Amino acid sequence: MFNISRLNKYIIIIIFLSFSLSACRREEVSETKILFNTYCSITVWASQRGGEEAIRSAFERMGEVESKFNIHSETSPLYRFNREGGDIEDDEIANVVKEALEIAGKSKGAFDPSVYPLLEVWGIYGEGSGIPEEKQIEKALKKVGYDNISIENGRVYSAVEGLGIDLGGIAKGYAVDEGIKELKRAGIDSALIDAGGDIYALGSKNGREWRIGLQNPRGEGNMSVFKVSDRAVVTSGDYHRYFEEGGDRYHHIIDPQTGYPSEEVVSATVIGPKAMTADGWATAVMVMGVREGLEAIKEMEEYEVFMITSEGEAVSSQGLDKYVADMNLDLLHKLDE
Ligand code: ADP
Ligand code: MG
């Protein structure tokens, strides 16, 4: 039998529980900032306060990565290295360079962090200054070669004069990984970071995999929608930064073999466990093209690729299917027109 005081106790406990439940009720908390010259948004499923704090520390960490890897910033060790040579003594940079060199080796130099002199003559660092003269390209090509970069005990150096390092093809992915680490540290288990096409989806959203749309590289709408959980989805394309001349498109991913922008693939999406690795490979696959790109990704355990070619064809690695929630083939046909 209930006595009154016991019933009161239950009521008090129920009121207390519902108060504390509402205090930590999950909602979507989101913020967008400009980082790496692009919109970067972080969305978390958490309590309002906890979510805001976690996002703040993730942005702070990503901002640190951005400045350290910004080759145009005087405070970046890469800035000095690219102008004066010498050594870079920085474990964090050494680790990213190590990953970059690994991808360079496996992609047979399609991805090459020493592509800096070529990017300079193509004006990629400015507004895109038009097609360079053949001579300029040849001169720049002579300075490119990832084999000339060495790492020893966290020290990056080169014996070759005029060598420059650009980690632009991989640093944004690294920043996303670091942002996610920061969110996890703050107790977040459900989040999405999108740094201008470098995406990581942590956990699930209301018990369902995160849905990620892939932009049509030649217009409006989504080409496809991927469903992922604890995966990076990173896209490189020829439509982010480019200029047009004589009806041709000249974009910011340069084939280190020819010295000219890559051609066959207009958009490459790599899905896998690490955003840094996926980022490097997305750039590599743009340069490698369909056949070589597919072969290389096959060797990369847990990584899959989806490419759209300039002919409007969609090509994917064998394991990609499990991530496809929707594919808009109508848009693909239009690409070809
Ligand atoms: P985005 O920065 O648009 O997301 P990417 O990840 O593909 O695209 O990075 C492109 C950047 O990579 C270029 O702006 C340049 O800094 C660098 N880059 C260009 N070509 C190469 C290459 N062949 N290998 C490595 N890095 C490259
Ligand atoms: Mg990249």
pLDDT per residue as tens digits for the range 4-51: 566 566 665 555 555 455 556 889 999 999 999 999 999 999 999 999
Contact 230, 258 (CB under 8 A): no
Instruction: Please state, in angstroms and rounded to a whole number, the distance separating the CA atoms of residues 42 and 45.
Output: 10
Q: What does the pLDDT read at residue 2?
A: 47
Q: How far is the CA of 115 from the centre of ligand 1 (A)?
A: 9
Asked if 218 and 239 touch (Cβ cutoff 8 Å), the reply is yes
Q: Residues lining ligand 1, judged by CB closer than 6 Å?
A: 111-113, 115, 119, 124, 166, 168-169, 172, 196-197, 236, 240, 252-254, 256, 279, 282-283, 287
Nearest CA to ligand 1 atom 23: 111
Q: Which residues face 70 on adjacent strands? A: none
**Which atom, in ligand 1's list, is nearest to the CA of 256?**
23
Identify the pLDDT of residue 18.
52
Give residue 56 CA to ligand 1 midpoint distance, Å.
Answer: 27
| Residue 42 confidence (pLDDT) | 98
CA distance 191 to 202: 5
Torsion angle defined by CA atoms of residues 77, 179, 284 and 135, in that order, rounded to the nearest 10 degrees: -30
Distance in angstroms (rounded) separating the CA atoms of residues 10 and 262: 69
Q: What is the number of the ligand 1 atom nearest to the C-alpha of 100?
A: 25
What residue ranges of the chain have pLDDT lower than 50? 1-2, 19
Homologous superfamily (CATH) of 77-158 is: ApbE-like superfamily (1.10.3980.10)
* Nearest residue by C-alpha to atom 1 in ligand 1: 236
Residues 197 and 240: beta-carbon distance below 8 Å: yes
Decide if domain 209-337 falls under CATH 3.90.600.10.
Answer: no
Distance 178 CA to ligand 1 centre (A): 19
> Three-state DSSP class for 189?
coil
Quickly tell me which residue has 């690294």 as its tokens.
Answer: 174
CA Rg value for the chain? 23
Segments making up each domain of the chain, as ranges: 36-71+168-196, 77-158, 209-337
Count how many Cα atoms sit within 13 Å of the Cα of residue 205 in the half-sphere of its side chain: 15
Q: Where are the alpha helices (DSSP H) in the chain?
A: 4-23, 48-68, 77-84, 91-106, 116-121, 134-143, 171-185, 275-298, 329-336
Nearest to 82 by CA among 49, 48, 119: 119
CA distances from 9 to 1, 21, 203, 315 (A): 14, 18, 38, 64
Distance 305 CA to ligand 2 centre (A): 13
